[in-house]
Amino acid sequence: MANNTLTIEDLITQSDVFINDASLAKAAKGIFEFTHFLLDNDENLTRTSNLNSKAREALQQRTLELLGISEEPMISEQKEVSHD
């Protein structure tokens, strides 16, 4: 019997989204692996098996890091200038 199990690398390399973007494919793989790591540790889970807030925050930070996005807001708030 043949093994028809797809790996995350198989799925990523076959996805149109990642075919022409190796850096995005690498980030997606890293996000998947980090999520898997978090889900494997019961201390990161709520009683309903969702990620707890600490784990969600860690996943968000790692995702931003892997995508090369800073934590700064995308749109900076403009300060009002007083006209005294």
17 within domain boundaries: no
Question: What is the predicted pLDDT for the residue at 70?
Answer: 80
22 phi/psi in degrees, rounded to 5: -65, -35
84 within domain boundaries: no
pLDDT in tens, 29-77: 999 999 999 999 999 999 999 999 999 999 999 999 999 998 766 555 4
81 within domain boundaries: no
76 backbone φψ class: left, alpha, beta (φ>0; ψ -120 to 50):
beta
pLDDT in tens, 2-12: 667 889 889 89
82 within domain boundaries: no
Give me the number of domains the chain comprises: 1
What is d(CA 38, CA 32) in angstroms, rounded to the nearest whole number?
A: 10
Q: Which domain holds residue 59?
A: 29-68
| Token pair belonging to 15 | 């996805």
Question: What is the predicted pLDDT for the residue at 78?
Answer: 47
Question: What is the predicted pLDDT for the residue at 62?
Answer: 96
What is d(CA 83, CA 65) in angstroms, rounded to the nearest whole number?
A: 40
Question: What is the predicted pLDDT for the residue at 13?
Answer: 86
